[in-house]
Chain A
Amino acid sequence: MGIRFVLLVNKQGQTRLAQYYEYLTLDERRALEGEIVRKCLARTEHQCSFVEHRNYKVVYRRYASLFFLVGVDNDENELAILEFIHLLVETMDRHFGNVCELDIMFHLEKAHFMLEEMVMNGCIVETNKQNILAPIQLMDKAS
């Protein structure tokens, strides 16, 4: 299936966005987020951007105070996922202009919409920023 979840977590370990591509109960999510965030936050800048956790591999990248974590299957190309994260941030940046944590918090649904365009069924389906943002911009205009 490829991508199993996308998580945005800040330095304090507070969740800022969570999208799962397989169903987990609320308790399972809480536990998973706690464990993974603890693991990733403990790592230094010089270490790999990949962490194995249970049967996931977590690819993460830090932007200012925000960590972007993507959980993938074992046979996923980690470097590509790392760049996928960057693409997501670039896309957000294009939409919000100098995107910051607060932008995502105030426009949680839009951040989700972008992700919805980019990832479906755990697969990366769209990486063209124009295509990703077009429906969101149209929606903004309409409302």
Chain B
Amino acid sequence: MGSQGGWGQSKEFLDLVKSIGEARSKAEEDRIVLSEIETLKRRIADPDVPRRRMKEYIIRLVYVEMLGHDASFGYIHAVKMTHDDSLALKRTGYLAVTLFLNEDHDLIILIVNTIQKDLRSDNYLVVCAALTACCRLINEETIPAVLPQVVELLGHPKEAVRKKAVMALHRFYQRAPGSVSHLLSNFRKRLCDSDPGVMGATLCPLFDLITVDRSPYKDLVMSFVSILKQVAEKRLPKSYEYHQTPAPFIQIKLLKILALLGNGDKQASEQMYTILGDIFRKGESTSNIGNAILYQCICCVSSICPNTKLLEVAAETTSKFLKSDNHNLRYMGIDALGRLIKINPEIAEEHQLAVIDCLEDPDDTLKRKTFELLYKMTKSTNVEVIVDRMIEYMININDHHYKTEIASRCVELAEQYAPSNHWFIQTMNKVFEHAGDLVNVRVAHNLMRLIAEGFGDEDEGADSQLRSSAVDSYLRILGEPKLPSVFLQVICWVLGEYGTMDGKYSASYIIGRLCDVAEAHATDDTVKAYATTAIMKIFSFEIAAGKKLEMLPECQSLIDELSASHSTDLQQRAYELQALLGLDAHVVESVMPLDASCEDIEVDRSLSFLGSFVQQSLEKGARPYIPDNERSGMSHISNFRSQDPHEVSSHGLRFEAYELPKLALPSNTPISLVPPTDLVPVSEPTYARDIQPPPKVATSSDALSADIGVKLRLEGVQKKWGKPTYSSPAASSSSSTSQKTVNGVTHLDGVGTASAQTRDNLYDSRRQHVEVSAEKQKLAASLFGASSSKNEKKASSHKSIKGSTGNVEKSTTVVKTVASSESSKQGTSAPPPPDLLDLGEPAPESKPSIDPFQQLEGLLGPTPVQTTPESSVVAGPKAPDLMALYGDIPITNPSGSSTNPMVTNLYAANKNSQGATNVSTLKKGPNPQDSLEKDAIARQVGVTPSGKNPNLFRDLFG
């Protein structure tokens, strides 16, 4: 429709688009854009450009920026365009501004006024445009300028406006939560908006709020559940369906919210079990969107308090994902498995081969996801295999971001689960060798400490064995080129401490190697410093042991070089080393004791060994020592004591700015009020400020009255979009779940042995056809643990589970029966739990006798028979827009159904991907005509499909 609606654009614009479209290279594109910039600079500055032409220029500016060039010379014209009276121009102006400017740009100030004006417009499309702009252009400072109007628009008769007002408020909350904290109850109100679109949008801010703090929203659990139920039961208008799935994106959002609310809350979780079970049952695993919902269900089930039955279904669904040929599904399956094993680690066993397949898949995304899973399921029995795999993978990638992440994970796992110190050191060596510059320095220090402290138990033999194996490996590794600095520091330190300890290597050999290190890393002062100190240690150990050690020539030249170094630290170390060489064995031993890195160094803070010397001096008449802070201004001593150290040091040079004169303080408060008025020339801000308190009061009283309303209203929210028969099925289904859960629990007793076995068997038989290489199986065994040892553990753990579940089972059944009897009572007397209703807006309902939900039910209900009479009576006077909106459902339906198959076809084609081009010929019913028309227009315009880039004309679906 759009393209046929006339290509009302100028030849120039069409040429531009054409040349960009046909550009062969980035360089060519850049050339086109640069000349376009020159043209635009000339044209746009012209004082009398026609308005329509100006719109085109603005879009050309958008192109310039989109293709990576600066279009700031035209920003002001985009800003000006927002003032235009024509909606199309205004909206283009707003669009361009949101694309060009961030909310803190200087030009935004010029738009705030326009937005304010547009928010008051009679044309709801203008209001919508302004609200969209609010979401992008209003910053913390300008929120007060538009806030009252936005809040007012929450009650606008047009649902599109209400929806956008909700989102504007959401944006303000994201930007500055404090600025709208008194308005949050509005989101609750909008949750029960009569329009499903508004309700769906409201889930976004509610999700954010619940993520931050879920406790205030616990009362909404039932409401969310009942909304989800209605959506899943297809009570929303058909236009909300996507490929026959009812409002999938709303369902997913709701499931996310429920996952948060049910986390760690048994009561809330129990309210969700039924609906989650329903969604699993309805779940359609043949389409992407169905699987998306199923996946979200698994996430929800694994987040809320566990329910055996649901977990089983979730595990089944996960295994379906994992066994799929579709890579995307396997990816989701791996993710889902990672969530489920947190609750029940044994689930992973069933899927070991699938996991290994994913791990060995050439697809990097899948591989990474699998590593994430392995990371989650690491324990001391499989840590070696997993970390080895991770390191192997780490070596082969060059994406720094991910390399860092995986290196730190290796370190974390190794530190947590290392089976032996020897293995730990070997592992750390590998990590340091390949990603040393990417890991935290702390890791290096940990490693040194581990080598120094050993196992911690009293087994000295093992410790020294560990150390000599470390020394061995480091001497070997030193041969490698390009070692990371951190790793070299560790090596130097270890060689210095333990290099000569077991007598395997001579002191001069170690010193020689250390000199090599210092020489090879001439630019790295830290490494040189570590090496020098290590050399010093070796020398002193030798001297202390009474051995004579010849100074190596390379060592002497190193010392000479360092004594003249620019770094004072290196100089000092060199001089210390030289001084040490001249001392006798006894002194050296106390200065550099052997293997004393773990000894505490005692510092005599009072310098008591100088006591006698001081005493002597005092006797000779010297003045007693006065502490630094008491030296001058003796009269203020008492003052100083009371003040903080910062003040005490104030006698030295002060580098911080002088404080502002205290006089300013009293006038401070008025000053803080002034800026808003500066920002916005109109006096609105102060108005906003004045007005803010009253709404607070109003909302709280609203809530109060609404609370009372809970008891008064007898209809459940569930009636909103559906038939009134909802509440009784709910009662019956909830009682049936109680039964099911009982079943589930009793079932659990047998699960450990019998069903797991059968599952294994099944899985095995399925796998029989596929030849599984022995190597893979070995890997699986090492990853998932040998089954024999596992069985024991399982049995024992199972016993304990049995015992505890026995009790739980009893108590839950009791609770359940109580609950079900309660709910069945509720079902009959029909007062639903507090929900959406309590917030139903009382204001717009001028006629209280008509229940708004009944209207809706008529309007939105799937039964067309009811629709016509009821809606014409009720909605006629009250909600004409609603009528209009939903009125055309029957009209659009046929077209919808006719397009749908095409779409699904296409979708299938898309899935098969390769065959897509072949299918395109099949699916085009009326389409060729369309494309012919398009081609004709294109030719007229001068863009020929036979041009350089025929792709431009390819049907996206083709």
Interface residues of A (CB under 8 A from B): 1, 10-15, 17-19, 23, 26, 29-30, 33, 45-52, 54-55, 61-66, 77-80, 82-84, 86-87, 89-90, 92-103, 105-110, 112-113, 116, 120-121, 123-131, 134-135, 137-140, 142-143
Contacts and interface: CB of A to CB of B under 8 A. Distances in A.
Given A82-B328, A90-B903, A113-B91, A107 B204 contact: no
Find the residue from A54, A97, A135, A139 having the highest chain B CB count within 10 A: A97
B292 A48 contact: no
B955 A128 contact: no
Given A98-B957, A105-B17, A116-B95, A80 B1 contact: no
Given A45-B913, A112-B99, 7 more contacts: A78-B328, A80-B296, A83-B289, A86-B907, A120-B164, A125-B167, A139-B125
Contacts of A63: 910, 956-957
Find the residue from B288, B957, B958 having the highest chain A CB count within 10 A: B957
A131 B914 contact: no
A106 B9 contact: yes
5 contacts: A30-B68, A86-B288, A102-B17, A106-B9, A109-B62
A89 to B, nearest CB: 6
A131 B66 CA distance: 27
A79 B125 contact: no
Given A79-B328, A108-B62, A47 B952 contact: no
Given A14-B23, A26-B70, A106-B17, A64 B958 contact: yes
B951 A64 contact: yes
B934 interface: yes
Contacts of A79: 288-289, 291-292, 295, 328-329, 332
Lowest 5 CB-CB distances: which A-B pairs, in order? A79-B292, A65-B951, A63-B956, A23-B102, A123-B204
A138 B125 contact: yes
Contacts of A13: 26
A54 B403 CA distance: 11
Interface residues of B, number: 101
Contacts of A140: 1-2, 5
B605 interface: no
B899 interface: yes
B154 interface: no
B95 A49 contact: no
B951 A101 contact: yes
Contact of B242 (A33, A83, A95, A105): A83
B327 interface: yes
Contacts of A86: 288, 907, 910
Given A116-B95, A126-B201, A46 B331 contact: no
Contacts of A105: 17, 20-21, 952
Interface string B937-958: 0100001000000011111111
A97 B952 contact: no
Interface stretch (B244-252, B422-430, B514-522, B573-581): B244-252
B328 A102 contact: no
A78 B160 contact: no
A101 B2 contact: no
B956 A128 contact: no
B931 interface: yes
Q: Is the interface of B mostly helix, strand, loop or mixed?
A: helix
A142 B3 contact: no
B467 interface: no
Contacts of B956: 63-64, 66, 89, 92-93, 99-101
A103 B86 CA distance: 23
B65 interface: yes
Contacts of B163: 125-126
A131 B160 contact: yes
A12 B67 CA distance: 13
A83 B248 contact: yes
Contacts of B955: 64, 98-100
Nearest to A53: B401
Contacts of B907: 86
Contacts of A18: 66
Contacts of B107: none
Find the residue from B20, B91, B128 having the highest chain A CB count within 10 A: B91
Contact of A77 (B295, B364, B401): B295
A31 B332 CA distance: 29
A98 B934 contact: yes
A113 B913 CA distance: 29
B402 interface: yes
B914 A45 contact: yes
B331 A50 contact: yes
Contacts of A87: 242
Contacts of A99: 955-957
Nearest to B63: A108
B65 A26 contact: yes
A48 B331 contact: yes
Given A99-B956, A130-B239, A78 B331 contact: yes
A138 B124 CA distance: 11
Find the residue from A48, A66, A93, A116 having the highest chain B CB count within 10 A: A48
A100 B954 contact: yes
A120 B362 CA distance: 36
Contact of B167 (A45, A120, A139): A120
A124 B254 CA distance: 13
Contact of B68 (A29, A50, A98, A102): A29
Given A23-B102, A102-B938, A139-B88, A97 B164 contact: no
Contacts of A134: 160
Given A47-B365, A123-B204, A98 B164 contact: no
Contacts of B327: 46-49
B66 A15 contact: yes
A65 B20 CA distance: 15
Interface in B1-41: 1-5, 7, 9, 14, 17, 20-21, 23-24, 26, 29
A87 to B, nearest CB: 6
Contacts of A124: 249, 253
A66 B903 CA distance: 18
B240 interface: yes
B413 interface: no
B292 to A, nearest CB: 4
Nearest to B920: A64
Contacts of A49: 327-328
A117 B170 CA distance: 15
B37 to A, nearest CB: 13
B235 to A, nearest CB: 15
A109 B95 contact: yes
Given A79-B288, A97-B1, A109 B14 contact: no
Interface string B55-98: 00001001101111110000000000000001110011001000
A101 B954 CA distance: 7
Contacts of B888: 130
B13 to A, nearest CB: 8
Find the residue from A19, A45, A66, A100 having the highest chain B CB count within 10 A: A100
Contacts of B366: 47-48
A99 to B, nearest CB: 5
A22 B811 CA distance: 50
Contacts of A17: 66
Nearest to B331: A48
B23 A78 contact: no
A110 B29 contact: no
A139 B931 contact: no
Nearest to B68: A30
Contacts of B171: 120-121
B833 interface: no
B569 interface: no
Find the residue from B174, B200, B299, B366 having the highest chain A CB count within 10 A: B200
Contacts of A23: 102-103
A48 B762 CA distance: 28
A82 B295 CA distance: 13
A22 to B, nearest CB: 9
A77 B68 contact: no
